[in-house]
Structure 1
């Protein structure tokens, strides 16, 4: 229950940062919240040797929300799925706290090795994070980016393949 509460609080904070002062009821009704809650129930069952029930929750998430999250995927507090449709997360993926995922995100393994995410990470719509890589803290992965190499702290990763965004200096006027 502690992790569900932290996920909901983080989602409310995201809404507030976007200028929407919403109630917790609105957060509960928001797109993606049921996917978060079902994921947490599935994960709890998986860690308490209730594999059959965990599999049921995984199936339920796929059926209700259109997302597939492996029962071994392990995220810290503040995990937020903003829009669940098309989200696929491999069972071997792990992540720290305050990770936000948009729709169509894929986090998958390559040859049995999966990504490891730090904390305070945003993953944009349609982004792919594939293989044995590390995403350090405070990283943003842009929409439709394909990340196949590790990202250093504070970077914004864009493109296919994803590379760090380096802003161009503004010309003096």
Structure 2
């Protein structure tokens, strides 16, 4: 999808609310990703400077750090304002929700590997997800959970350190 198509999709994810700080972050994020499509380094350079300027402005205004190097899937949503740090080494699937106070990042500074988050993942306020781990699909991370191990599909992770609880099947 092109830059404006992605921004339209993000606006739909935010239910048309231009005032949402998460949407502001996504506009700058999409611009940062788009600039990599410019083949000529000479032409890309001013766009890169512009991106770095707007990235810092949005980071200061919103308290949300989402580097453009992070691959995010469709319908990525930052649900609440502030104190969100996402490592440039992380990755997200489709339909993920991130709330305030969340950190998705490195466990150790020496190990340049951050979590890989699946699709349909809801991350509660204050959660910390750290290290070279995988969070499966259809996972809920509880508020203030500290997740240091991989979480399988269809699970709930709660507590410090997080305990992994399989979700109950609603069909039984």
TM range (shorter): 0.7 to 0.9
Partner residue of 1:34? Answer: 24
Q: Report if the CA contact (8 A) 2:62-2:81 is conserved.
A: yes
C-alpha deviation, 1:7, in angstroms: 2.7
C-alpha deviation, 1:167, in angstroms: 7.7
Partner residue of 2:41? Answer: none
Aligned pairs, how many?
Answer: 155
Could you tell me how far apart the structure 1 residues matched to 2:12 and 2:106 are? 30
- What RMSD, in angstroms, separates the aligned Cα atoms of the two structures? 2.1
Partner residue of 2:11? Answer: 8
Partner residue of 1:106? Answer: 103
C-alpha deviation, 1:66, in angstroms: 1.2
Q: Report if the CA contact (8 A) 2:156-2:167 is conserved.
A: no
1:75 maps to 2:78: no
1:141 maps to 2:141: yes
TM-score by length of 1: 0.80
Q: Report if the CA contact (8 A) 2:30-2:68 is conserved.
A: no
TM-score by length of 2: 0.80
Segments of 5+ residues of structure 1 without an aligned counterpart are: 13-23, 169-173
Matches within 5 A, 1:94-133: 94-110=91-107, 111-133=111-133
Segments of 5+ residues of structure 2 without an aligned counterpart are: 39-43
C-alpha deviation, 1:94, in angstroms: 0.8
Could you tell me how far apart the structure 2 residues matched to 1:57 and 1:68 are? 12
Taking a change above 3 Å as real, the CA distance of residues 46 and 142 of structure 1, as seen in their structure-2 partners, is farther
Taking a change above 3 Å as real, the CA distance of residues 53 and 47 of structure 1, as seen in their structure-2 partners, is farther
Could you tell me how far apart the structure 2 residues matched to 1:142 and 1:34 are? 26
